[in-house]
Structure 1
Amino acid sequence: MEGSKKISYFRNYRFPVLLLAAIAVGCIVGVMLGPKAEALKPVGTIFLNLIFTVVVPLVLISISSAVANIANLKTLGKILGIMLAIFIITGFLSSSLMISAVKLFPPAEGVQIELPKPEQTEPLKTGDQIVSTFTVPDFSDLLSRKNMLPLIIFSILFGMAVSLAGEKGKTVARGLEALAEVMMKLISILMWIAPIGLGAYFANLVGVFGPELLGSYARAAAVYYPVAIIYFVLFFTLYAFIAGGNKGIRTFWKEILTPAVTALGTGSSVATIPANLAAAQKIGVDREVREIVIPIGATIHMDGSCLSAILKISFLFGIFGMPFTGLDTYLTAFLIALLSGTVMSGVPGGGFIGELLIVTMYGFPPEALPILAILGTLVDPPATMVNATGDTVSSMIVTRWLKGKEWMKQKLAAG
């Protein structure tokens, strides 16, 4: 019995452990080689390019298939409504946690940073931005990971059209379902080269950019990293408990390590969609839920970005000698964090627009913009990990509200 448990644990965790080991080796190689480690960058880039190449057809096919095969479109409305409510609530909670952290440990205390002139920027045009957020002028523009939100909207509408087409639509729906299965098999093939790709990628990052991590921004990063880890461990455990009780916690942590390491290594929520879909499937999340919530969440659900938005705001307040206090200041910070984490993240160039929003809404000089860009780069790995893995636990909560609190037991009983 004891031997079989050891074999089971090995099977469950061998791949994430392999990924972590590859990343650790990559970091060591990066330290040893220094800037010469940049020679390994093409190996990591090849892996990332393969993943990014698959993401667009995967999102198009999986969402269209999930919507097309939902018997009752009212169910789709429920899924989307519950999903959006969860995204907003978790974004508020993550923002609140970071506000508490920066009050206890001001990130800009004693920091001295020169203010370089940023590149000339155009003012934010709300009307144009709304148009580019939800639509593109040509179908070919949909076939790009830079336009994920328009692609998701098109996929939902296409799936609805298939569902409403009656008997003729059922043939298309079955074809989409088969294509979705093929895409998941393709993803499983690509993930087996992930250790090599991520190891090489991290070797380059550590070798080329390692010294910069020890500069003036170290204190801000030292605030963000522990808070992100606390949110990742404690709050995701709470969310998993809400979704499925103790069984939900065990199952979530059993399956989430591969998506977490993938997000940490790739720095992209979109690139983590395949790993998240596979994890949600193993957890027992219904196909119609996981193939809607996870791709949409990769675009508009960013708890890690909410954390970083509050950090950036507090950092600027400290640099410019302004007290980060007062109800108006906090309410504006919450608004910016939610916009950065739920709306702006789906906009092309959304990270930059979120930073521009911080500068303009608080009236900071334009020289503050490059400060936020550098800080955003430093906190990006854990932020992406929180962003991406939050989609999986959100899909569990959506399933709990749709299927009832016994959904995991029912899934287990059904085999």
Structure 2
Amino acid sequence: MERRAFGFLRNYGSVLLLLLGISIGSIIGVFFPGFVDRLKPLGDIFLNLLFAAVIPLLFFAIASAVANIDGTQKLGRIIFTMVSVFLGTILIAAVCTIVALWFFPVEPPRPLQETADTLLQAPGDTWGDKLVRFVTVDEFYKLLSRDNMLAFVIFSFLVGIAAMRSGESGTSFRKFLLSGNDVMKHLLILIMKVAPVGLGAYFAYQVGTIGPELFGFYAKPLGLYYVLCAFYFIVIFSIYVYIAGGWHGVNRFWKNNILPSATAISTCSSIATMPVNLVAASKIGIPPAVANVVIPLGTTLHKNGSSMSSIVKIYVAFVLVGWDFFEPMTLLTALGITVLVSIVAGGIPNGGYIGEMLMISVYGLPTEAIPAVMIIGTLVDPIATLLNATGDTVAAMLVSRFSLGRSALKTAAHRTGGDEGDGKD
């Protein structure tokens, strides 16, 4: 009995400490909201440590994975499958949201009188200029900012391809990339030692500042969105991982998805969750050649939660101004905006504001809709980030299944010492 209890604490002790920190933080946020501003710096310190570690971890993870892809793990097949999975799951999330809104319409909220004319002032840059800045930078040091995350991901990807193509002369560099990836993973383990304190402080701040608004003006659309996201998170994600790895894949995913989920909800940042996702992917048994490519790219390009929230925000804005959301061209445009939002809304806290401005400009919505859309965007951010971030791990499992075969997760689990016998296909 004592040995079993010790084994349980060894396997789940860190998770129990994390849940304890989150519970204490939530209680403080509910009963002592005036105290949360004093706790927030602790959460900021933890989040800053994660952000500082993300850049080198991202580089070594992507470059080492690409550089060491062998002949049985074709890079082109992985990339093609990844793009298909990203687009497919984003559109499925959007369609599910449209169906839910059709069956459960929301009463029009009271129009807000504030305007935000300055938000509609378009900069002088063309879309071509914005695209260039989005995927590239003109100085190397700019790559080290998370404001240019997609450009950095592309650069790391190209370094990995160059290392893979360099043959024997690049052997030492490829070993350096693998060694650097291992070092950065151990750095992440050290940082996560303070996760119970850091995430607990962030939960206190979230509950203390945003919590009261959840019961006010936007309760009905927010309630529908949160219920739909919970359904999608539990049911649809379980279906995806079952397709990817059978019942043993389902068990492994949920067993190792606790820490990424808590990190996503408390930080509202896909980038901050990415390092934890990579650790979870290793425990699940996702091959490194897939996980180290799909998850970092998914942080920027794959957002199920943002897909669903963009549909809800468009719907609320249309109801506010008295327009018909379910007109066919409006729905097709909404799906197009959803895909774009999943690309342009970077993995930083509240990054959806970019997508909101895109939505306003495409539909030509009046200025009185802007505050309502931005408030909705702020209040859905925690659970949207949950789906965005943990959905990257789900996507990596699907990419493993369709690009490397059904046995990919089992084989990788044997190599990493993952659990086997969790269930049967």
Say whether the fold is shared (TM-score over 0.5).
yes
Q: Distance in 1 between matches of 2:108 and 2:404?
A: 52
Per-residue displacement from partner, 1:142-164 (whole Å, max 9, x unpaired)?
A: 00111110000000111111122
Which residue pairs with 2:241 in the alignment? 240
Q: Tell me how far 1:345 sits from its aligned partner.
A: 2.3
Q: Are the equivalent residues in 1 in contact too, given 2:63–2:177 (CA < 8 A)?
A: yes
Q: Are the equivalent residues in 1 in contact too, given 2:287–2:412 (CA < 8 A)?
A: no
Which residue pairs with 2:407 in the alignment? 406
Which residue pairs with 1:333 in the alignment? 334
Q: Distance in 2 between matches of 1:51 and 1:222?
A: 31
Q: Distance in 1 between matches of 2:45 and 2:100?
A: 38
Q: Distance in 1 between matches of 2:73 and 2:395?
A: 20
Q: Tell me how far 1:332 sits from its aligned partner.
A: 1.1
Q: Distance in 1 between matches of 2:92 and 2:175?
A: 40
Matches within 5 A, 1:266-277: 266-277=267-278
Which residue pairs with 1:151 in the alignment? 152
Q: Tell me how many residue pairs correspond in the alignment.
A: 412
User: What letter corresponds to residue 344 of structure 2 in structure 1?
Assistant: M
Which residue pairs with 1:114 in the alignment? 112
User: What letter corresponds to residue 345 of structure 1 in structure 2?
Assistant: A
Q: TM-score, normalised by structure 2?
A: 0.92
Q: Are the equivalent residues in 1 in contact too, given 2:46–2:194 (CA < 8 A)?
A: yes
1:33 partnered with 2:32: yes
Q: TM-score, normalised by structure 1?
A: 0.94
Which residue pairs with 2:77 in the alignment? 78
Moved more, 160-169 or 11-20: 11-20
Which residue pairs with 1:67 in the alignment? 66
Q: Are the equivalent residues in 2 in contact too, given 1:39–1:204 (CA < 8 A)?
A: no
Which residue pairs with 2:54 in the alignment? 55
Per-residue displacement from partner, 1:307-362 (whole Å, max 9, x unpaired)?
A: 00000011111111222222212111111111112x22249996223112211222
Instruction: Tell me how large the CA RMSD over aligned residues is.
Output: 2.1
Q: Distance in 2 between matches of 1:146 and 1:100?
A: 34
Q: Secondary structure at the match of 2:74?
A: helix
Q: Distance in 1 between matches of 2:287 and 2:347?
A: 28
Which residue pairs with 2:421 in the alignment? none
User: What letter corresponds to residue 58 of structure 1 in structure 2?
Assistant: L
User: What letter corresponds to residue 345 of structure 2 in structure 1?
Assistant: S
Q: Distance in 1 between matches of 2:128 and 2:410?
A: 48
Matches within 5 A, 1:217-296: 217-296=218-297
Which residue pairs with 1:100 in the alignment? 99
Which residue pairs with 1:318 in the alignment? 319
1:345 partnered with 2:353: no
Moved more, 397-406 or 264-273: 397-406
Q: Are the equivalent residues in 2 in contact too, given 1:68–1:160 (CA < 8 A)?
A: yes
Q: Tell me how far 1:261 sits from its aligned partner.
A: 0.9
Q: Are the equivalent residues in 2 in contact too, given 1:149–1:347 (CA < 8 A)?
A: no
Q: Are the equivalent residues in 2 in contact too, given 1:232–1:386 (CA < 8 A)?
A: yes
Q: Distance in 2 between matches of 1:389 and 1:115?
A: 37
Which residue pairs with 1:22 in the alignment? 21
Q: Distance in 1 between matches of 2:136 and 2:179?
A: 28
Matches within 5 A, 1:7-18: 10-18=9-17
Q: Percent identity?
A: 42
Q: Distance in 2 between matches of 1:132 and 1:98?
A: 32
Classify 1:211/1:302 alpha carbon distance in 2 versus 1 (closer, same or farther; 3 Å).
Answer: same
Q: Distance in 2 between matches of 1:239 and 1:5?
A: 32
Q: Tell me how far 1:4 sits from its aligned partner.
A: 6.7
Q: Tell me how far 1:191 sits from its aligned partner.
A: 0.7
Which residue pairs with 2:204 in the alignment? 203
Q: Distance in 1 between matches of 2:4 and 2:312?
A: 43
Per-residue displacement from partner, 1:188-209 (whole Å, max 9, x unpaired)?
A: 1111101101111222232233
Q: Tell me how far 1:74 sits from its aligned partner.
A: 7.6
Q: Distance in 1 between matches of 2:414 and 2:73?
A: 27
Can you give the 5+ residue segments of structure 2 that lack an aligned partner in the other structure? 418-425
Q: Distance in 2 between matches of 1:73 and 1:314?
A: 46
Q: Are the equivalent residues in 1 in contact too, given 2:112–2:372 (CA < 8 A)?
A: no
Classify 1:89/1:9 alpha carbon distance in 2 versus 1 (closer, same or farther; 3 Å).
Answer: farther
Moved more, 362-371 or 115-124: 115-124
Which residue pairs with 1:364 in the alignment? 365
